[in-house]
Amino acid sequence: MPNPFPGMNPYLESPTFWRGVHASLIVYAREALQPQIRPRYRVDIEERVYIEVAERHIYPDITISKPPTYSLRSEGSVAVLEYDAPAVVLTVVSEPVHEPYLVIVERDSGKVVTVIEFLSHSNKTPGDEGYRLYRQKQREILQSDVNLVEVDLLRAGEYVLAPPEGEVRKHFSKWHYFVSIRQFKTVPSFALYPITIRQRLPRIFIPLAPEDERVAVLDLQALVDRCYDAGAYGDFIDYRSEPPPPAFDPEDAAWIDELLKSKGLR
């Protein structure tokens, strides 16, 4: 079954699915861009790696020794507890989190000209290490001559895109998803794509080196639809339930309900 939504499928935002969706978006975006920019450039996948101590990211490796047995002996009026075996030992190991993103690299110089980020839940959650590292990398890019493309397909979490939130909200009153493109040669301007649940995801331009008049094009809708099909998410999503939080406003919730009913999914 193809993606029943004309644009972003909000059910894919669930943490249950997003890790796989995010990884697939990176791979498919690289595949779509590579033939457009060769031979002067190439697209590479890089990673931020960090240890996340939040409970939801801990994967325990538990080792339990032989259960202890106990006996009592008396020393005068005091009872002493003796152990016939060592105490139970529990070891919890936190696995590193690998967060991929894309870079466009100039072949001859090896210089990174563009960074493309698909945001994750961790990037948008203050207090998470992924949030801190994302903000740090974002500041470094904004102080350099590197282009930055940020694609936010998650409604949950804090606004973390490069354009100041206050300025964005002066011009756009509503969006569910957002794309921001900072092109170095047009600094301090940003190209913005506010998107609602009812819209097809856009075809966005990907800037290259400042002196290069060409741009690449990335069809976000094609990427999401491919993720949906390749991941067989239609076999697992229960469309009778509500999309993951945050809740849509009543009008959009009613639109989603009618859409899914028209597809026979509710």
Q: Quickly list DSSP for 127-174.
A: TSHHHHHHHHHHHHHHTTT-EEEEEE---SS----SS-HHHHHHH-S-
Q: Is 0.85 surpassed by the pTM of this model?
A: no
Q: In this predicted model, what pLDDT tens digit does every residue of 141-169 receive, in sequence order?
A: 999 999 999 999 999 999 999 999 999 99
Q: Tell me if 108 sits within 8 A of 99, measured CB to CB.
A: no
State residue 54's pLDDT score: 44
Model confidence at 97, pLDDT cuts 50, 70, 90, reads: confident
- Residue 49 pLDDT class (50, 70, 90 cuts): confident
Q: For residue 211, give the H/E element and its range.
A: none
Higher pLDDT, 48 or 171: 171
Burial of 20 (0-12, 13-18, 19+ CB in 10 A): middle
**Does residue 67 register a pLDDT over 80?**
no
Q: Is 100 helix (H, G, I), strand (E, B) or coil?
A: strand
Structure tokens at 177: 């998803």
CA angle 65, 68, 71 (to 5 degrees): 165
